[in-house]
Structure 1
C-alpha cells in the first residue's frame, strides 16, 4: 500500500468541494467525505471518497497537428494535453478561468508546448518529467495575491515546455 501524498489528498478535497458546489452532495455528505479525505493515510482510502464524482478533466489531443487555445476561451479546472509530434499553445492571458488553481497534465512525446500566463499568475513545474526534453519556466513558482496558481505535471520524453507571462 502506498501512502497518500499531499497532491492526491488536495485533489480529493477539491473534487468533493466542487461536487458540493455543483449540488451533487448534501452538506452532511460534504463533511463526511472531507473528514475521510483529510484523515486518509493510504491512497486506497481516497478512491471510494471520489469514485462517484466527475473529475472535470478536459482532454485535448493530437498526433501531428497543432493544438491552440487563445483569446476568450473557457478554461476547465483540469486539462490533459497529449501531443506526439505537434505544437501546443495555451494562451491563458485573456481566457475565462473561474477557479484559483489550474492543473495541466502534459504528455508530449516529441512536441513543444507553450503556456502563456495571465498577470500575477505563477506556475509550478515540479511534477514534469523531461527525460531528453526541456522545461523552461520564466514565471515565479507561486502566484502573487489574487493570481492564478498553475500546476503542470506530465511526461516529456523528447518534448519541450516553455511557460512565460503575458506580454500585454
Structure 2
C-alpha cells in the first residue's frame, strides 16, 4: 500500500501551495526571504510530503486541497493497485496499455464526486466502490471491449462519473456490500 504522502504531485498542486504561501506573506506569517525559499521548494516538489513540508508550521495554511486534486495513473504492461487506506483525488486519469488497474475505494478517503477519465488499450480496469456509492458510465466509449457495471446508474454518495475510451479492454465496476 502506498502512503498518500508518497504520491506524486502535479503543477496545479504546486501552484496552489505557492498561492497559500503568498497568503502567508500577506498575513505576516513568513518573510519575503522565507517565501522565496519555500516557493522554490514547492515548485521543485515531487511528492505530497514535499509540498506539505513548506506549509506544516503555518497554522490555517495546511493544503487540504492536495488530496482532492488530479492524479494520473499510468500503466504499460504492468499492474497498478490501490487498496486499503488511500486518498482519492477529485479527478483520476487511468492510462492503461496491456496492463491492469485495480482500485478498491472501500477503505479510501473519497470526495463526494470523483471524475474518472479512462484511456485503456488492451488492458483491464476493476473498480470496487464503497457501499452506498453511485456511478455513471454514460461517457465511456467501448471499442472491441467490455464494460461490466454491477452498480448501474444508482443514486448514492460518493458518486463516480466515468468517461473516456476503452479499446480492446475491459472495465468491471462492483460495489462492496
Sort the TM-score into its range (normalised by shorter chain): 0.5 to 0.7
Show the counterpart of 1:118. Answer: 130
1:115-134 Cα distance to aligned partner (Å, 9 max, x none): 00001001100010101011
Shift of 1:159: 0.9
TM-score, with structure 2 as normaliser:
0.61
Q: Does 1:57 pair with 2:67?
A: no
- Aligned-residue Cα RMSD (Å) equals 2.4
Unaligned runs of 5+ in 1: 1-18, 24-53
Spell out the pairing of 1:48-127 with structure 2 (5 A cutoff).
56-97=69-110, 99-127=111-139
Runs of 5+ consecutive residues of structure 2 not aligned to the other structure: 1-15, 21-65
CA deviation string 1:29-56 (max 9, x = no partner): xxxxxxxxxxxxxxxxxxxxxxxxx993
Paired residues in the alignment total 117
1-side partners of 2:155 and 2:84: how far apart?
Answer: 21
* Regions of 4+ moved over 6 Å: none
Partner Cα separation in structure 2 for residue 140 and residue 112 of structure 1: 19
Q: Aligned pair 1:131/2:146, yes or no? A: no
Higher Rg: 2
For residue 142 of structure 1, give the secondary structure of its aligned residue in structure 2. Answer: coil
